[in-house]
Every structure is written in C-alpha cells, then in structure tokens.
Amino acid sequence: MSRLGKHYSMKRQAAITRLVISVVVILIVSMSVLSALAIFSLPNNGTVAVSKSTVVISSSGSTNSLKFTNQSVVGETSCVISGQPGGMFLGIFSDSDLKPVEGAQVTATNIPAYCDNSPATSKMTTNFTTAGIVWIELPSENNAGYSFSVRYSNNNFNFNASLSPVSITCAALFVPSGRTSVVSQFADICPFNQIGLVTSTVSSTTTANNASFSTFQSDALANITIPGFPGDIGIDANAGKIYVSDLFANKLTVLNSSSNTILDSIALPTTSFSEIAIDQQRDIVYVPVIGCTNLSNVSNSCSSVNASTAQLRGIVEINGSTDKIFGKIPIFTNQIAFNSVTGLLYGITFSNLLIIDPRSSALIANISLGAEHVGLALDTLTNMVYVDTCQMSLACGNAQLLMINGTTHEIQSNVSLSFFDAINFPLAVDSKTDTIYVLGELPTNLTLYAINGTSGQIEYSSKIGSSCSGAGGGSMVLDAQSQKLYAAFARQSFFLMIDTATGQPVKMITGGNGDQDVAFNPLSNLIYLTPEPQGNNGSLIALPGFSIMKNTTGVVNNQLLQTGMCLP
C-alpha cells in the first residue's frame, strides 16, 4: 500500500506519557505512576449521612474562580487516602464565544470514594447559580467524582466527572449544545482563559455538524457488567475467551466471547500491573503482578511502606484450559508482549527491555533503552521489536522509536520523535505493510504518524484533532483485515476508527466518560472496550469491527475533536 505523498502537517498532558490508568506501587514504580492512584483505608463500621447546601454565587470584579469550603464527614466514617485528588473544578461555557455563562442553575452531588463497600466521606448536594465565573471549585477530598445536573435557558443537562489522584479535574459543559469535556491534569488550577479549552481548526475527510452520530448504546452488540474496576483486556481468540484485569483488586475475570457471559474469576496473588499476554498455541495466559495488594485493611497492602513487594512480584502463569494458576516467572515487568513465532516474552521495566524464555523462566537479554519507555510492540513476521521512549521531565523530551532486532537482541536503529510533546497512546504494528503507527500530541494537534518498520522513514503524518482532544491519552489497536486503527480515549467521550491509508478518522462512536483499554478479536471481528466505571460496577462493551459493521458510512463530529482541556 503506497502512502507516498500523503503527508499532513501536524500533547495527553505534557507532564506524562501514556496513562490508560496507572497503579500506585510503593517503593517499586516511578513517580509518574505513583501519582496516579489512591489507596483507601476505612473502618468497617462507618456510617454516612447526606447533607445539602444551597449557594448563590455572585461575581465581583475580575474574579476568575470560586471555591466552596470542604465538606465535613458526618458520622463515624473516616478514610485515609494516599494521593488525594488535586481538586474538582466546574466551568459552564457558551458554545458561541467560549465565555462563562451566567444564570445556569447547577446541582452538584459528590460521589464518595469507596473502600470495602463503604463510602469514605459523606454525600452532599450543593445547589448554586452561576454568575460568569470561569471555574468553580468543589470539595475533592475522599471523593471519586461528581454528578452534575444543570438547567440553562430551559434546557437540562446531566453529566458525571471522575476524579484522579494528585491531579486536578476540570469539567466543562458547553451550552446550548450540551457537549462536555472532563480532563484530569497535573497543574495547580484549570486555565483562566479559554485558549486551553478549544481551538485550532483541523481538517478532516469526514465532517458533519447536523448528523446523527453513532453511540455506544446504539452500536454495542453486548454490554457485560463486571464487578469492580475493569482495566486491561486480553483475548484468546482460539479458545474463545476474554480476560479482564481489575485495577483495584487481585482478580482476573474470565468471559466467554461467544455467549458474552462471565465464566470465572481468578484470584491473583497480588494486583495486576498492566497488559495481559497470551500464548494461544500453548494456551497460557501471562499476567504481570505488582507484588502488593491494592486494597486497604489487608496484609501486604500497597498503602503500607512495609509491603513485601520484591518476592511477590513477577509474571503469573495461568492454564487457559482450566483457568488455574500453575506458576510464576520471578521477573518484574510492568508491560509485556508475547511473540507467537519465537515463543519469547518481552517485558519493560522503566528504561530496560527484558527478553524472557517463559518455558524456563530464564532472562535471555536485558537491553538498556537509555530513557523511560512509553510503548512496546512486536512484528512477528520480521522478528523486530519496537519501543518508543522519552526523557521524562514535564513533557516527553527527546522521544525516539527504537528498532530492536529480535534475533541479535540489539538496537538496530532509532527514529527521532522529538516533535512530540507527549506520546500517550500505545504503538501499533502492521506486519503486512511493515508499518508502525505512533499517536501523540504535538504543540497544537493530536497527530498520527506512520513509519516504515525497516527504513524508519516517516510515511505520513495526519492531524486527528486539537492537542486538547488527546489530553489524557488512551489505547490503540490495529484491525489488519480492514486496515483500521481503533483508538479509545481515556478522558474523552468518543471512540475513533481511523483509516490507515489516510490517517484520518472514518467513524466516531460517542458516549461514556472514557475507556481504560481497547482490544480486537480478529476471528470474530469484534472490538472490546472497558469504559470508565460508574459506581461499584464496570463493564465490557463489545462493538462490531469495521468489516462487519452495518453502518460504515461513518460520521465524525469535528467539534468534539477540537475540544478537551490542555495544560495552561
């Protein structure tokens, strides 16, 4: 497939690279991961009361923000959280001029963080009327999020916002369209001007302003409830099974991909880290575990500085036929991939690539990457390994794509990706066309690059949307049959299907508050997503792949691709 001549001129927040969602691991992981997870501790006898307050906001002078005093905890409930949210900010803006509106009647209800099925704080409803203030700060301590109900100009709007540890959350509602943007970022406060909210016109091959857009509700073939907080997805297409990790519990949920039913729940020795690798020929599932338990009030809790992580971490081996654990490779890695041709496992530990023989649990090679890794992908046809790296500071500096020979275990060449401010989506590799796809943020645009896997030559760059639309990062996977990339956004309310020939979105599915992971089953042509949970239960959504989708004409809402929130 020729991509010559298809060049298009080109930030997930500039403070961090790929963050589908991070897990706190005390004494193990880097500060970028430590800043992404809260650990809760709560007595079992906690009681909760609901209180209500009514506030009318008035603006004076050039006031740009208003802060509510922190809510009090009622009853005996208490909670100690390591890595509290940095703040909850609400802004309501006009679609026409992006200025804050006056007279919007708001009902804001906090969603308490939960521990052992008990809330960490009291539930409180706050009513107020906006008065042209840009950002309104609400209490965030011990909360998991907020539910907002807004009435403005005889129209009602409802949406939720999830909080993130050590990050401020900026929730914006635009009226009268009702579109929303909820983004967590490492900053002191949301931007006081609107430059960080929307801008920069980006051309697209498919645009519609008055069309009926596809939604998860209309397009989903199945929506399976999974208790807890579903995270990463692993698919054993030959065995007809789907494995889903939990970011806040020591378990792996097993589902039947045909009936879309839960088959089993596997108890892991500690909490899983990220990624699930599967050897479909030997029917073995590999799950890296962090070495401590991401629960409070248990032995070896990750919240304890005395957690015994070193001996317990490693890669758990599960028999795919019985779904029973039969072993553990005693090598710590926080990202893994399996080469089905050579039978080798590849793992990443911050700035090193580990090559492992799972049959003997032997470490074959340990390759220094010279910088912190971002993504890992394999080309089983050419036996090449691709890793993109960054010199991490406040942004992804001096980014590179390393091309590693899978036979000699040596870095063969590298491609400079220094034009990226952040690479916050995983790599995708197409063995048929020998192409690597890199999606990340430039200063003004979320941009997709196609790179030749042999020469390292950039074949094209394509603007997807404004850099703000990529804030929060996400997941990406290739559908080689239809030559489409499926991109799920962790902090945006849409999912994209991107044509690899042009690098442009051809279909958008809207809804939800972001997705933790996306996976594709090439045998059934189904896409699987783990959306951001609401309450105590999450879910696994099944969507038809592009080749079997009934409506592939696709409509892309370019307005959504220009929204989002960036660092000020």
Report helix, strand and coil shares of the chain as percent, to nearest 5: 5, 50, 50
CB atoms within 10 A of CB 366: 14
Q: Give me the architecture of the 36-185 domain, per CATH.
A: Sandwich (2.60)
Residues 6+ apart with CB under 8 A from 181: 170, 171, 172, 174, 197, 468, 492, 563, 564, 565
Residues 6+ apart with CB under 8 A from 481: 522, 525, 545, 547
Closest CA to 559 of 98, 94, 207: 207
The CA–CA distances, whole Å, from 400 to 349, 351, 397 equal: 17, 13, 9
Successive 10-residue mean pLDDT values, the chain, 568 residues: 29 31 32 35 31 35 48 42 76 83 92 75 88 84 89 90 82 85 69 36 34 70 92 95 91 95 94 90 94 74 67 92 96 93 94 96 96 92 95 76 96 93 91 95 89 94 82 90 94 89 90 88 95 86 89 69 56
Closest CA to 172 of 92, 67, 68: 92
Domain boundaries, the chain: 36-185, 215-561
pLDDT for the residue numbered 479: 97
| Pairing relationship of beta strands 324-329 and 335-338 according to DSSP bridges | unpaired
pLDDT for the residue numbered 393: 63
CATH number listed for the domain at residues 215-561: 2.130.10.10
Closest CA to 404 of 386, 426, 388: 386
Contact 195, 25 (CB under 8 A): no
Fold match flag (36-185 vs 215-561): no
Q: How many residues comprise the chain?
A: 568
Closest CA to 484 of 454, 515, 509: 509
Q: How buried is 87 (Cβ within 10 angstroms: 0-12 exposed, 13-18 middle, 19+ buried)?
A: buried
pLDDT for the residue numbered 247: 84
pLDDT for the residue numbered 554: 56
Claim: this prediction has a pTM higher than 0.75: no
Q: In what order do the strands lie in the sheet with 335-338?
A: 335-338, 345-349, 352-357, 362-368
pLDDT for the residue numbered 81: 52
